[in-house]
Chain A
Amino acid sequence: MSKAFEMFSSSIGRKFVMSLTGLFLITYLVIHLAINLLSLVDAHLFNEASHFMGTNWFIQAMQYVLALGFIFHIVQGIALARSNAKARPQKYALDKPSTNSSFSSRSMIITGLLVLLFLVLHLRDYFWELKFDDMNGHATDFDLVVALFANPLYTGLYVFSFIMLGIHLNHGFQSAFQSVGVNHPKYTPGIKKFGVIYCVIVSAGFSLIALVHYFNSL
């Protein structure tokens, strides 16, 4: 590997990648949530926003950055989990990890993989339909959303996935700062609090949208 990129193969460098891609995805989720919330306000507004996202040159370019962000995060996340598992070939007969660490911090790979599963479904149902298919025969983006959330199974899976993402970010948000060396007695308590507020808003926000559309369909 080139000298300039050497650090990215080290344990700390790999965590920089996780942190920076994670923070990028965290920012992206805010924009995504804001647009989705429009679907609760007004169908026309939502279609306009959706159309803008699908045609604006900057957003289109960012789509590739986003895809790369996801790919780096996922590939590196799986690679880290694998090498970490190898670092302890013989397990303890009795281990009590809950006495010293949080559930969310110990299940990053599990919550991550569940989010990944959701991501595949999500891309198939929206990204693919909007870009390359006939939107299941619906006239507008809004109609597609409404039709998908009318399915209770789909809505249930959607809410479950966002709870998983919430657990992922409950640890991930503050961890991303620690990974790039941001730890300060004055700011870290605030970062941790903001992280909790952030993941509640994101989990509850996306879930609320799904549930409102589901109940409207009844």
Chain B
Amino acid sequence: MNLTLKIWRQKNTTSQGKMVEYKVNNISEDMSFLEMMDILNEELIVKGDDPIAFDHDCREGICGMCSLYINGEAHGPDRGITTCQLHMRKFKDGDTIYIEPWRAKAFPVIKDLVVDRTSFERIMASGGFISVNTSGNTQDANNIPIPKDDADEAFDAATCIGCGACVATCKNSSAMLFVSAKVSQLALLPQGKLERERRVLNMVDQMDKEGFGNCTNTGACEVECPKGISLSNIARMNREYLRASLVKKD
């Protein structure tokens, strides 16, 4: 199929970007969206143009690197997938496709379609961990009994790959779904309960400092999340936060 692409081009963080139109021909419907981008880039390189920068790594839906806001939706028109899992069969011959980077103050554009998501890493560093002695005498995790329901819910939360689609799609650029998945994953397990107050207070504080918006509970994040992270995690984080605010001593 032949397609018209409108792609965001931007030299660096400080320069002014703009949408630029490209044509690609003979795209197979069996290709993934990123392969289509590869073909366009090869053509650009042959012509001596600057190829389009976009993020990707595993190309199998597990690393969360590939971003792209495609035709007005995070990761394109399909559900429960990342951009590398999006197939060209979702498009028709002659389609015009808009391709933009994640848009959020806390995700500044580095180049073209690549955004800086280290704000997520700073949130993780502020509390998304457990403090254990790893010097060789750690207790076997299987020795600690954990209710199956809790283990399942913690595992569901832990499937978040930190892609940032929730932020990109939220009208407020809120990071609540991501942060709540990380808070839930640890708060549900005995190993994580020890630091639960400190964790949720610090992570929410860091999230606010990074310039993400507030949650209006529109639920757009849950719909666009490639891993099906549920809004119930946000409610759990709200409870954790309320509880921590009430019981903390300092």
A92 and B216 contact, Cβ closer than 8 Å, known pairs A13-B245, A182-B235: no
A88 and B217 contact, Cβ closer than 8 Å, known pairs A16-B242, A96-B72: no
Question: What residues of B have a CB within 8 angstroms of the CB of A140 in the complex?
Answer: none
A87 touches B211 (CB 8 A): yes
B104 touches A15 (CB 8 A): no
Query: Looking across the interface, which residue of chain B has its beta carbon closest to that of A102?
Result: B218
B223 touches A101 (CB 8 A): yes
Q: Shortest CB–CB separation between residue B206 and chain A, in angstroms?
A: 11
Please list the residues of chain A having a beta carbon within 8 angstroms of any beta carbon in chain B: 3, 6-7, 10-16, 80, 83-84, 86-97, 99-102, 105-106, 108, 171, 174-175, 178-183, 185
CA of A92 to CA of B103, assembled, Å: 7
A100 and B223 contact, Cβ closer than 8 Å, known pairs A15-B215, A93-B100, A108-B216: yes
The 25 listed contacts between A and B (C-beta, < 8 Å) are A7-B242, A7-B245, A10-B208, A12-B237, A12-B242, A13-B245, A15-B214, A84-B174, A86-B211, A87-B104, A87-B105, A87-B211, A88-B105, A89-B105, A94-B100, A101-B171, A101-B218, A102-B219, A106-B216, A106-B218, A108-B216, A171-B217, A171-B218, A175-B217, A178-B231
A183 touches B103 (CB 8 A): no
Q: Shortest CB–CB separation between residue B208 and chain A, in angstroms?
A: 5
CA of A3 to CA of B245, assembled, Å: 9
Task: Answer yes or no: B112 CB below 8 A from chain A CBs.
Answer: no
A100 and B224 contact, Cβ closer than 8 Å, known pairs A3-B250, A92-B103, A93-B100: yes
A88 touches B213 (CB 8 A): yes
A181 touches B242 (CB 8 A): yes
Task: Answer yes or no: B154 CB below 8 A from chain A CBs.
Answer: no
A7 and B105 contact, Cβ closer than 8 Å, known pairs A87-B174, A102-B218: no
Task: Answer yes or no: B207 CB below 8 A from chain A CBs.
Answer: yes
Question: What residues of B have a CB within 8 angstroms of the CB of A179 in the complex?
Answer: 215, 217, 238
A88 touches B218 (CB 8 A): no
Residue in contact with B214 in the complex, picked from A83, A174, A182, CB distance below 8 Å: A83
A11 and B207 contact, Cβ closer than 8 Å, known pairs A87-B104, A97-B220: yes
Q: Shortest CB–CB separation between residue B155 and chain A, in angstroms?
A: 17
A94 touches B234 (CB 8 A): no
B73 touches A88 (CB 8 A): no
CA of A100 to CA of B69, assembled, Å: 14
